């Protein structure tokens, strides 16, 4: 894709001492592709060293959301043709996630509307994360036979109790209040105030500007469910978690139904990812997610999940194997095996703090 196409899909501008990044694919709810990620890496690196830029803000074009995730149709086409584009895209995307997490200036993310998957990666690692009453966020990867990535496993492993495990296995869409509870966001601002907040950021510090517009968030529905979530999801394996959810009834039983509709392999690998990632750095987590992601590219469920949800839209994926009980421990272990020369190696590289 040429530079012109990239410029159209992600816009950069300066207003006062504010650098503005606008994801600009509104018809695709600003889904990320490789060109957009590369452009953001370049511009954010330049602004990190630019004394005229004091603060950076990330927002999405259109009225549907910040970012619905990675461009999974492009990933599907790459899988069908046995290409390497997806692996290269993820490598740069994860580098971008790491850069954002260590950014030397306030990085303000407007997490308005849909903020899913890769959208979480370019927002929730920032230092000032703003949600609204319209926020619908989450890591829905198990629905398409994949596993949370972009550092999502680490973020959710740090959530209170087992709430992050519930969010990861069910792939549930979460409210802004839930995002605050999970630790994916910092401030609640009404969506109608975002333009005024962006204007204030041009001349005020991020702390002062956000302080003017932030309000108390509504109650988190997820927080109210933590008792049964903690009781069920602390179990040893996915089958035990589902059994425990069924015994708890009502909302818990509905969660069990949801999990059993997901890719059994994805559910088990996601659970193992969350357990293994605790205590790791973001770079170590991204290296682990890259290993898992490349194994997902090579397996049947990721391709089948995208086909069923996005391509044919029959919502009837044929998972292989079709049940949790048939996913062997050795199968899960294989997803975490070292990649040799294909390792991403972020944890071995110097931290980018600019």
The set of catalytic residues is: 70, 118, 141, 149
CA gap 68, 120 in Å, rounded: 9
CA gap 193, 304 in Å, rounded: 41
Cβ contact 125:282 at 8 Å: yes
Sign of CA dihedral 221, 164, 211, 107: negative
For residue 272, which of 252, 288, 294, 296 has the smallest C-alpha distance?
288
Sign of CA dihedral 185, 67, 103, 353: positive
DSSP, res 16:
T
Cβ contact 128:106 at 8 Å: yes
CA gap 110, 194 in Å, rounded: 8
């Amino acid at each position: 894709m040429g530079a012109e196409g990239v410029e159209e899909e992600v816009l950069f501008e300066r207003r006062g001492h504010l650098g503005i990044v606008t994801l600009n694919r509104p018809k695709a709810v600003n889904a990320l592709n490789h060109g957009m990620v590369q452009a953001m890496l370049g511009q954010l690196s330049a602004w990190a060293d630019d004394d005229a830029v004091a603060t950076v803000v990330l927002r999405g074009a259109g009225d549907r959301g910040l970012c619905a995730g990675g461009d999974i149709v492009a990933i599907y086409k790459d899988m069908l043709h046995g290409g390497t584009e997806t692996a290269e895209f993820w490598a740069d995307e994860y580098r971008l996630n790491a850069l954002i997490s260590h950014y030397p200036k306030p990085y303000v993310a407007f997490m308005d509307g849909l903020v899913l998957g890769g959208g979480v990666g370019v927002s929730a690692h920032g230092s000032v994360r703003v949600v609204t009453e319209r926020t619908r966020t989450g890591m829905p990867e198990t629905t398409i036979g994949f596993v949370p990535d972009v550092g999502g496993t680490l973020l959710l492993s740090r959530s209170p109790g087992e709430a992050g495990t519930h969010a990861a296995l069910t792939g549930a869409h979460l409210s802004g209040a839930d995002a605050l509870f999970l630790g994916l966001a910092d401030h609640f601002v009404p969506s109608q105030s975002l333009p005024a907040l962006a204007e204030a950021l041009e001349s005020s510090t991020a702390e002062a500007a956000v302080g003017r517009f932030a309000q108390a968030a509504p109650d988190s529905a997820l927080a109210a469910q933590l008792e049964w979530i903690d009781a069920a999801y602390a179990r040893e394996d996915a089958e035990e978690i589902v059994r425990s959810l069924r015994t708890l009834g009502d909302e818990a039983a509905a969660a069990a139904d949801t999990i059993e509709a997901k890719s059994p392999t994805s559910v088990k690998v996601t659970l193992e990812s969350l357990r293994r990632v605790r205590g790791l750095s973001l770079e170590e987590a991204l290296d682990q997610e890259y290993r898992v992601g490349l194994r997902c590219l090579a397996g049947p469920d990721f391709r089948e999940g995208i086909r069923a949800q996005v391509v044919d839209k029959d919502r009837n994926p044929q998972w292989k194997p079709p049940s949790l009980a048939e996913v062997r421990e050795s199968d899960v272990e294989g997803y975490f095996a070292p990649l040799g020369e294909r390792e991403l190696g972020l944890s071995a590289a110097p931290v980018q703090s600019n």
